[in-house]
Amino acid sequence: MIRDYWGVSKNTLANELKEIETKCDADVYQAMMAVKSVGNIGAHPERDISVIIDIEPGEAKQLLDLVHLLDQEWYVARAHKRARLASMTALGQVKSAEQKQAGSAPAAAAPSAPKI
């Protein structure tokens, strides 16, 4: 997700996270760093094979919740934003065309004042 959304491609996840640190929300960055630290044991078991930390079911859900949050904030929100902006752009184009068409049409006679 980091590579796709932020367009970074470094040799390690740690380097990719460093690359986006100042670009993303600080709270999101801290959460991703926490997940990275949990995942390092699985990603690099050769560093200390005597250390095994169990992940409880609730903790696994928290990890998945972060992935869901990133999906919502990075992809879903971006798609909704683009759709709303495209809708406004289209509305502006329609109204601009209507304005041009109204300006090129012969002027209607002004209504006369009512007779008293």
- Average pLDDT estimate for 54-83: 92
Going from the C-alpha of 98 to that of each of 87, 89, 90, 91, 95, the distances in angstroms are 16, 14, 12, 11, 5
How high is the mean pLDDT of the chain?
Answer: 87
- pLDDT recorded at residue 57: 81
| Chain segment 37-68, per-residue pLDDT in tens | 877 766 666 666 677 777 788 888 898 999 99
- Which residue type sits at 31? A
Mean pLDDT of all residues in 12-29: 95
Of the pLDDT bands very low, low, confident and very high (cuts 50, 70, 90), residue 73 is: very high
| H helix intervals, 1-116 | 2-6, 13-20, 26-43, 57-70, 77-104
